[in-house]
C-alpha cells in the first residue's frame, strides 16, 4: 500500500471504505501502528493527560507537540500524520500560522488539527490559503473543558445540534479538509457526515461516520483514570499490542466498532 494522503482519504470516503485513525506520541508505537495497517496517526495533545499525567490537555506546549510529532514521523513511512494545535497556540491568525509552520517544518506533520467552530473560521481560512492543511474538531473539545465543566456529550437538543452542523459546514467552506467529531449523538454525526464532502472521523460519534479515532492508551486499557464509555479495550480482547492494533483496524474497517454500547443517542 502506498503512502496515505488526503486524496487517499477522499477516495476512501467516496468508496464507503472506513478510515482507521489512532493517536501516537513516539516512534516505537508508530512502527507497530503502521504494521497493523492504520491509515492515519493523530499526534494528539491528549499526550498531556496520558503521557505527562496532567488533568487536562491545556498545559501542553507547542515545543512538546513539535517534539512528539517529530518522534512519530521518524517511525512513520506511509501513514498520514496529523498534529494537534495546542491550547492558546492559535489565538490569532498569525500565531496560528507560526504554530502550524513549526508543526509541519520541524515536526514533519502533514496536517494540523484545530478545535472549535465559528470563532476559528477566519484562522482556518488564513491557514488553508497559505498551503496549511487543516482538520477541524467539533463536539466535545477538551481544550474547552473549563467552559464545558465536564467531559460530556455535546449536540443533544435541536439548538445544540444545529450549531454543530452549522460549524461543520462552515469549517468545510473555510477550507478544512477533515473533521473530527467527538462525543456527539450518532444521529447527528451521521447527518454531518452526509452533509460534508470531506472525511469525518468520529470518537464517540457512532458508526455512520467515515472513520474512527481512539486514544492509543485508551484502546489498550492502560489509561490511569479509567476508560471512557465509548472505548473498547482491544488489548483485553487479544492479549498483545500488535494483536490489539490489528483488531482495532479490522473492527473499524468492518464497521464492528463502535458497537451500540459505545454510541450516544
In the chain, domain spans: 6-262
Q: Of residues 225 and 223, which shows the higher confidence score?
A: 223
User: Is 62 in contact with 99 (CB distance < 8 Å)?
Assistant: yes
Architecture of the domain made up of 6-262: Alpha-Beta Barrel (3.20)
What number is the average pLDDT over the span 133-152? 79
Residue 17 appears among annotated catalytic residues:
no
Options 34, 64, 94, 182, the catalytic residue: 182
pLDDT band at 142 (very low <50, low <70, confident <90, very high): confident
Burial of 101 (0-12, 13-18, 19+ CB in 10 A): middle
pLDDT for the residue numbered 151: 66
With a cut of 80, say whether residue 150 has pLDDT above it: no
Residue indicated by cell numbers 501513514:
79
| Chain center to CA of 166 | 20
| Chain center to CA of 97 | 20
What number is the average pLDDT over the span 160-188? 97
Indicate the average pLDDT of the chain.
95
pLDDT band at 148 (very low <50, low <70, confident <90, very high): low
State pTM to two decimals: 0.96
What number is the average pLDDT over the span 75-100? 97
pLDDT for the residue numbered 226: 73
All residues at 6 or more sequence positions from 2 whose CB lies less than 8 Å from its CB, including other chains: 8, 78
pLDDT band at 145 (very low <50, low <70, confident <90, very high): low
pLDDT for the residue numbered 165: 98
pLDDT for the residue numbered 194: 98
The x, y and z cell numbers of residue 240, run together, are 498483545
Name the nearest CA neighbour of 141 among 183, 106, 201, 111: 183
pLDDT band at 149 (very low <50, low <70, confident <90, very high): low
With a cut of 80, say whether residue 216 has pLDDT above it: yes
User: Is 253 in contact with 17 (CB distance < 8 Å)?
Assistant: yes
Amino acid at each position: 500500500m502506498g503512502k496515505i494522503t488526503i486524496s487517499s482519504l477522499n477516495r476512501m470516503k467516496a468508496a464507503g471504505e472506513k478510515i482507521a485513525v489512532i493517536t501516537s506520541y513516539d516512534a516505537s508505537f508508530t512502527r507497530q501502528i503502521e504494521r497493523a495497517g492504520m491509515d492515519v496517526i493523530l499526534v494528539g495533545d491528549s499526550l498531556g493527560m496520558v503521557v505527562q499525567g496532567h488533568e487536562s490537555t491545556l498545559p501542553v506546549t507547542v515545543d512538546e507537540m513539535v517534539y512528539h510529532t517529530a518522534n512519530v514521523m521518524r517511525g512513520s513511512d506511509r501513514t498520514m500524520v496529523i498534529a494537534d494545535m495546542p491550547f492558546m497556540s492559535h489565538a490569532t491568525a498569525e500565531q496560528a500560522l507560526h504554530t502550524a509552520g513549526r508543526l509541519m517544518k520541524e515536526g514533519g506533520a502533514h496536517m494540523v488539527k484545530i478545535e472549535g467552530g465559528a470563532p476559528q473560521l477566519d484562522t482556518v481560512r488564513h491557514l488553508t490559503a497559505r498551503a496549511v492543511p487543516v482538520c477541524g474538531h467539533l463536539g466535545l473539545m477538551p481544550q474547552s473543558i473549563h467552559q464545558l465543566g465536564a467531559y460530556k456529550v455535546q449536540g443533544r437538543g435541536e439548538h445544540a445540534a444545529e450549531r454543530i452542523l452549522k460549524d461543520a459546514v462552515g469549517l468545510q467552506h473555510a477550507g478544512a479538509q477533515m473533521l473530527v467529531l467527538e462525543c456527539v449523538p450518532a444521529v447527528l454525526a451521521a447527518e454531518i457526515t452526509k452533509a460534508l464532502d470531506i472525511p469525518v472521523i468520529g470518537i464517540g460519534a457512532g458508526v455512520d461516520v467515515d472513520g474512527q479515532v481512539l486514544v492509543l492508551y485508551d484502546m489498550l486499557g492502560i489509561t490511569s483514570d479509567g476508560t471512557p464509555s465509548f472505548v473498547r479495550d482491544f488489548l483485553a480482547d487479544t492479549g498483545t499490542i500488535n494483536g490489539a492494533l490489528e483488531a482495532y483496524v479490522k473492527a473499524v474497517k468492518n464497521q464492528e466498532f463502535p458497537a451500540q454500547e459505545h454510541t450516544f443517542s
